Amino acid sequence: MAFTITMMSWSIVEYGKQMGASGELGHAMEAVKWGTDYLIKAHPEPNVLFGEVGDGNTDHYCWQRPEDMTTDRRAYKIDPSNPGSDLAGETAAAMAAASLVFRRYNRPYSNQLLNHAKQLFEFADKYRGKYDSSISVARKYYQSYSGYADELLWAAAWMYRATNNQYYLNYLGNNGDSLGGTGWAMTEFGWDVKYAGVQVLAAKFLMQGKGGHHSPVLQRYQQKADQFMCSCMGKGSRNVQRTPGGLLFRQRWNNMQFVTSAAFLLTVYSDYLTSAGKSVQCPAGNVSPSELLSFAKSQVDYILGDNPRATSYMVGYGSNFPRQVHHRGSSIVSIKVNPSFVSCRGGYATWFSRKASDPNLLSGAIVGGPDAYDNFADERDNYEQTEPATYNNAPLLGILARLNGGHSGYNQLLPVVLPASKSVVSQPKPTLAPQLNPAPAKSSVPITIEQKGTASWNANGKTYYRYSTVVTNKSAKDLKDLKLSISKLYGPLWGLTMSGGTYGFPAWLNSLPAGKSLEFVYVHSASPADISVSGYTLA
């Protein structure tokens, strides 16, 4: 989970502007907060972190819905006597990366995350050891093959990015050789092996001119980052295997985790190089930033159906996607449809062995994917290919935002950057509905509301309009308990939470600082909705 949160946060930090322009930033931030809230609860003391609940053996013995599970839920922790630097380091990275996501929107929560990150980094570095030596039940399913050195560097890189504290850059510089960051030339990046991610971040720091006296070491990090890109592009001295259809291939069991993670690194590195005016020098020839991005796009295209089987490996996307996903909740009828208890072994007999499609669609999940020859068997017991994982999806968050929204240099989240107006191509292009001027507000209400139409398109004989609405706190205090009344709204709205007939802050936002703005969007086939302030407090 920690790696999932780190990658989702990295996606938002890099491409939050693009997500905001499509109305998805709030959803992404809510997903991150769901994970960080859990991680906070798992870190009750500075040197204690709970790393697993339940165990793989007893969990796999049963096939039940979450509501029916009867298996033991024992919690396993790491502490100074039973260390786990890899687990604590990754969780520190997740907290640090997420603190950047919430810094401009929810400063107290961001500070809380950063405090946890600092404690976890110190814990990981001071009490060294592999987590699966302390939590041995994890070894069969999530063994730490790479050890903990890569996570210490990974955590330090994210701590430096989140704090700009020289201590963490010194850590990267002083330990780059001894911990392997400048020595390992990688051909994979994932929840276990973080070196390629560290090397890309270190290269970013160097290209931003932050290396200082550590520049020679950061250059060695960058050389390894370049080698990773060359290996993925097939222009290195040790290249990543590809299927006949062009998919990067590392292993049969859940290969897609490496595809999405590699594609993400290709994407962000392409943008880093573009901003720095550089390219990659490979043994088999130079590679431009645009080539890196183009190859990353080809991997996403393959995942979504542009492959020899014409199969989408994202559940629910397209017409030909996996129907028998290796997932308990998806494969067993919803408790709302049939509340009858599903027993431990009865679930295997009744539901696991069914050859019918899943009764619950696990929309958006990325499954393990095809083998080295593009073959795929859509069968529930084929866990190597049909099992989904959150860390398969997390890197896609950023890639899709980048491919949809373009590149605008280094994103600096998050002062609510207003999206540029973008018209959706349609023939003929309709005229936007009249724009609404700033809503008049009483002088006693220190809140302004501005709406503008940002896109329009035709569908089924109707013209639809996308409206961007910006609420600005004009007071000198924090704005809390905001309530907006919205009428004449005839379509979906993103970026607010509805309660009792009024709209308030989204779940990830508690208050709006003085002078800051909140943006939300809605789509319908009418003139702008009527929006007014019905309540608020200043503190």
DSSP state string for 320-366: S--SS-S-HHHHS--TTT--S---TTHHIIIIIT--SPPSS--TT-B
Question: Cα–Cα distance between 309 and 332 in angstroms, integer?
Answer: 27
More confident residue, 457 or 520: 520
| Sequence ranges of the domains in the chain | 1-180, 447-538
Hey, is 48 helix, strand or coil? strand
Catalytic residue annotation? 326, 378, 387
**Backbone phi, then psi, for 49, in 5-degree steps?**
-140, 125
pLDDT band per the 50, 70, 90 thresholds, residue 444: low
User: Mean pLDDT in the chain?
Assistant: 91
Q: Taking the CB of residue 216, how many other CB atoms lie within 10 A of it?
A: 12
Other CB atoms within 10 Å distance of the CB of residue 62: 18
> What's the pLDDT score for residue 418?
28
Peptide bond into 308 cis (omega under 30): no
Q: Are 91 and 39 in contact (CB under 8 A)?
A: yes
DSSP state of 66: G
pLDDT by residue (tens digit) across 194-248?
Answer: 999 999 999 999 999 999 999 999 999 999 999 999 999 999 999 999 999 999 9
Instruction: Tell which CATH classification among 3.30.1320.10, 3.40.50.970, 1.50.10.10, 1.10.510.10 matches the domain 1-180.
Output: 1.50.10.10
47 within 8 A of 79, measured Cβ to Cβ: yes
Cβ contacts of 300-305, under 8 Å, gap ≥ 24: 300/263, 300/396, 300/399, 300/400, 300/403, 302/245, 302/246, 302/247, 302/259, 303/256, 303/259, 303/260, 303/366, 303/369, 303/396
- Tell me: pLDDT of 469 over 50: yes
Q: How confident is the model at residue 519 (pLDDT cuts 50, 70, 90)?
A: confident
Round to whole Å and give the CA distance between 273 and 218. 15
d(CA 270, CA 280): 9
- Fold annotation for 447-538: Immunoglobulin-like (2.60.40)
Coil, helix or strand at residue 116: helix
User: DSSP letter string over 150-185?
Assistant: HHHHHHHHHHHHHH--HHHHHHHHHHTTTTTTTT--
**Nearby residues of 124 by Cβ (< 8 Å), 6 or more positions away:** 84, 85, 86, 88, 89, 92, 148, 151, 152, 155
pLDDT band at 437 (very low <50, low <70, confident <90, very high): very low
Task: Say which DSSP state 459 is in.
Answer: E
Comparing 437 with 324, the larger pLDDT belongs to 324
pLDDT bracket for residue 508 (50, 70, 90): confident
